[in-house]
Chains A and B, each alone.
Chain A
Amino acid sequence: MVQIRRAYEVLFLGLFLFFLLVTDLRYLKGWPVSIFLEATPLVAVSTALTTHTIYRNLWWGVFILGVTMMFGRVWCNWMCPFGILHHFFGYIGNRKNTKQLIEVNRYRWWYSIKYYILIAMLVMAGAWIIPTLIATPGEVVTAWNTDDGSVATRPVRALANGFAAAAERYKEGGSNLQIGLLDPIALTVRSMTTSVLPVAHVATESIYTEPREYWYAWVVGLIFAGFLVANWWIPRFFCRAVCPLGALLGLLSRFSLWRIDRDPVRCTDCDLCLKNCEGASDPHKDLRKSECFVCLNCIEDCPHDALTYRFLPRKASEITWPAVGRRQVLLAGIFGSLFFPMAKLSGGVKKNFSRYVIRPPGSVAEDEFLRRCIKCDQCIRVCPTNVLQPALFEAGVLGLWTPIMISKMGWCELNCTLCSQVCPTGAIREISIAEKLGTGPFESKGPIKTGTAFYNRGRCLPWSMDVDCVVCEEVCPTSPKAIFTRNIEITDRWGKTLHLKRPYIDPEKCIGCGICEHECPVKDDPAVYVTAIGETRDKSRSLLLSLVDDPAGSQDLVSIG
């Protein structure tokens, strides 16, 4: 059995790393590279709370829920790449004797912290419920008044429609998605993308064509390494105490039909089953069902065959629910419901939104974006130019590690929509090249703009230094170009006549791709730079009245294909 599990571990970690490596323009083809991110039920559950929908392939999460409800937390030790990495790091860091091993694998009360983390994050995701409930009575009255259907079911309809109307209104601005900070797959993809792979590339020159740099990657990398090395002292520290996905699966494994069971007659209380217990689920006593990773090591280690994995063992020999305190649950809930609005109302997101938050093309409006983005940074992984970067606090504390474009690092390639293809949650909606460029059926809608370029004439060579340049005009990819020039004739300081081209921006044509900023020879503080204003994803950030809206735009939404 343990051999089979090991084979699965190798298979799933291998698959994960394979998908990670092929998340690249050259190899992507049709590989389902987002499958692990889509399979974590935490993403499905929490985005269902924030968006009231299940986006495309997040259905895989429901499948894993089903597996957990049958067999327990098999995900954690058989499939989860981060769990498998923890398993591996615990193994290589293991310098303990049997006695010490038994002791480090006993259950600790603070392993329940993961449940409080989960609760705080889900409360943030479902915070819209508070204003919704306050507004529901009024909406129910409105629904009652406007309803002229059959009398018998009118109260039911009024209640349901009233609640739905209130929920629809307060969903926007009423919740936030933070599970990505600690969801094991999002965390692993993010850490691999921004810190592990760039380091591996420096050593091997085999991953990219050009070395990558990521904004404050060391923070992400240090957290990742910290969790992995923690296994040397506390095996599976992350999985046992921190992982919110483990907590969700722990809650659901309460329903699992199969579990480890101890034969109290055969058991001689030697505690050898604890020696390699991954989950610290106390197999030597009544099993803590919510903590067991179903690694099956205990069965292997039991000298008396007292442990079996069986269907519907007696209820009396298990601890069905996780050991969480009611007061602590309340505290976690209060933290979640207060922290979200406080963070959101700390400025920098709405009124004082940052000019640096330039989202990739296809991104939905900022509020919805923050309700969808799980900070997995897979878009950053696939971006061929390095322009996509994990934000620090540019998008507010809630937008930590969400993707932004830093044009000094790269530019948005004109004929590329890769980031929108790999986004597992629709924070970057899948768009076609035609939609991005505003051609074909999207002609009337115009191109997707991510921002607008501006000139800092004091630093621009032809504008203030009598030097020819206009690289920006050359690289401007739109047709017709958004950057145009005016010829001028000036007298230079020595009295000679000079002919210069001076660049200007046509804000209607500029799509904010940032290649002008990237190629500007004034490298440290480019003379042409892009800021977020004028982005088409959000009407409240539009700049030009002529582009603000189009009747055709709202009708023609289906972009794929």
Chain B
Amino acid sequence: MSEKLTAKQISNLQKFGGVNPADETFSRRDFAKRVGATGAVLTGAVATGVAITDPWGMQGVKPPPPVKLGNYSVRDELPASAPSVVVVHSNPESQPPSESGENQAQRMIEAALKAMGGIDKFIKRGDIVVVKPNVAFDKNPDLAATSQPDSVAAVVKMCLAAGAREVRVCDNPINNPESCFFKTKVGDAALRAGAKLILPQESYFEDLYIGGETITNTWRMFYKPFKDATKVIGVSPVKDHNLCKATVTMKNWYGLLGNPRNQFHQNIHGIITDFGLMMKPTLVIADGRKLLMRNGPTGGSLNDVKRGDTMVVGTDQVAVDSWCVSKLLEKQRHEIVYLDKSIAKGYGADWRPQWTNEITV
């Protein structure tokens, strides 16, 4: 220190043993360490910045790549002569007096599948099967507004017996999902038959590409159960509907739509037609043992329910719906606009006697 120091400064200097620590310069090692640390952190910040830069501000609105629902149909593997629709009537006289509804359903569906080539044509060992009932409302199944628990149970058991690895039962109902599965008794029946119940969760929905008439691009769908599934079976009631006149197997896929799905009532036949494009099911089963003839889709009175003693099983959902609305619901066939639209677009064919098997068990 060259300048003149005050007494205080001299005593300070003595305290440090005559050497001013502030005069100490940094060592080479110190320099490398500290400049290196700064450099490393700065480089890290810049590298992270470069990696996540969004120069045009478009990342925030970039849609994810479109995902499409798989094709679950096995129609191509069936012989061309196999009927696309099998109608099974139950003869009340030949029915054992104390037979359960589930047994009856099983007998009827088995007979239908036999006519189409046997269950093993549809369900293979190791399949993951989604069974989609219609449990839109929390109503007693006797009111025929929802799928019958016994037919759901019968389908689940048949799939498991045919070697399916897993059977999932799922729906995204209008009413509260828990109470719907509980009060329609479908949840309990499915679990007891050995299926896995999948209630909708927010994260189970994904944007699916449809490219149809109403969903021209994508829509949020209850996709998770279908994502790794190999087969899909729709089990639906046969009922009246205030707006689109009939709810059978095609409208059953409405339960895949995420919100705000109420808008689809602005073009109900359009959306049901789009389901024909979106969903290629392995099988559809219309349970016509109980028919809701009026005041659909909610019903609510046993006076609206008619006994039908029929089950319609098919690989062509358009044909199944067409048969059900004309023969069971006694509607004017061309009132059901979505059927004509679907046929025009080639998503299915109208029912014809030559492709339809009618049997009685």
Give the residues in chain B near A269, CB-CB below 8 Å.
Answer: 8
Is A399 an interface position by the 8 A CB rule? no
Cβ–Cβ contact B1 & A554, under 8 A: no
Is A545 an interface position by the 8 A CB rule? yes
Interface string of A507-538 (1 = CB under 8 A from B): 00000000000000000000000000000000
Q: Which of B41, B58, B266 contacts A546, CB < 8 Å? A: B266
Is A66 an interface position by the 8 A CB rule? yes
Is B214 an interface position by the 8 A CB rule? yes
Cβ–Cβ contact A540 & B259, under 8 A: yes
Cβ–Cβ contact B26 & A267, under 8 A: no
Interface string of B1-25 (1 = CB under 8 A from A): 1000110110011001000111010
Is B63 an interface position by the 8 A CB rule? yes
Give the nearest-CB partner of B258 in chain A: A540
**Given A62-B46, A546-B266, A549-B215, also A557-B61 (CB < 8 A):** yes
Question: Which of B27-35, B78-86, B193-201 lies on the face that meets chain A?
Answer: B27-35
Give the residues in chain A near B266, CB-CB below 8 Å.
Answer: 544-546
**Given A54-B52, A544-B266, also A264-B12 (CB < 8 A):** yes
Cβ–Cβ contact A313 & B22, under 8 A: yes
CB distance from A547 to the nearest CB of B (A): 10
Is A364 an interface position by the 8 A CB rule? yes
Is A65 an interface position by the 8 A CB rule? yes
Give the nearest-CB partner of B24 in chain A: A314
CB distance from B35 to the nearest CB of A (A): 6
Give the residues in chain A near B267, CB-CB below 8 Å.
Answer: 545-546
Interface string of A31-75 (1 = CB under 8 A from B): 000000000000010001001111110010010011001100000
Residues of A260-277 contacting chain B, CB below 8 A: 261-269
Cβ–Cβ contact A540 & B63, under 8 A: no
Give the residues in chain B near A549, CB-CB below 8 Å.
Answer: 215-219
**Given A62-B46, A257-B34, A372-B60, also A545-B24 (CB < 8 A):** no
Is A198 an interface position by the 8 A CB rule? no
Is A232 an interface position by the 8 A CB rule? no
Chain A count of residues within 8 A CB distance of the other chain = 58
Cβ–Cβ contact A65 & B45, under 8 A: yes
Is B59 an interface position by the 8 A CB rule? yes
C-alpha spacing A44/B53, complex, angstroms:
10
Is A255 an interface position by the 8 A CB rule? yes
Is A551 an interface position by the 8 A CB rule? yes
Is B42 an interface position by the 8 A CB rule? yes
Cβ–Cβ contact B9 & A364, under 8 A: no
Give the residues in chain B near A354, CB-CB below 8 Å.
Answer: none
C-alpha spacing A313/B55, complex, angstroms:
39
C-alpha spacing A54/B35, complex, angstroms:
26
Beyond A257-B35, A549-B218, list 12 extra A-B contacts (CB 8 Å).
A55-B54, A69-B38, A255-B42, A257-B34, A257-B38, A264-B16, A312-B26, A317-B22, A429-B60, A542-B263, A544-B266, A549-B217
Those 3 A-B pairs whose CB atoms lie nearest each other, nearest first: A53-B54, A545-B266, A263-B22
Interfacial residues, chain A to chain B (CB-CB below 8 A) = 44, 48, 51-56, 59, 62, 65-66, 69-70, 169, 252, 255-257, 261-269, 304, 312-317, 364, 368, 372, 426, 429-430, 539-546, 548-551, 553-554, 557-558, 560
A-B contact pairs, 12 of them (CB 8 A): A51-B60, A56-B54, A70-B38, A263-B22, A265-B16, A266-B9, A312-B26, A314-B26, A429-B58, A429-B61, A543-B263, A545-B266
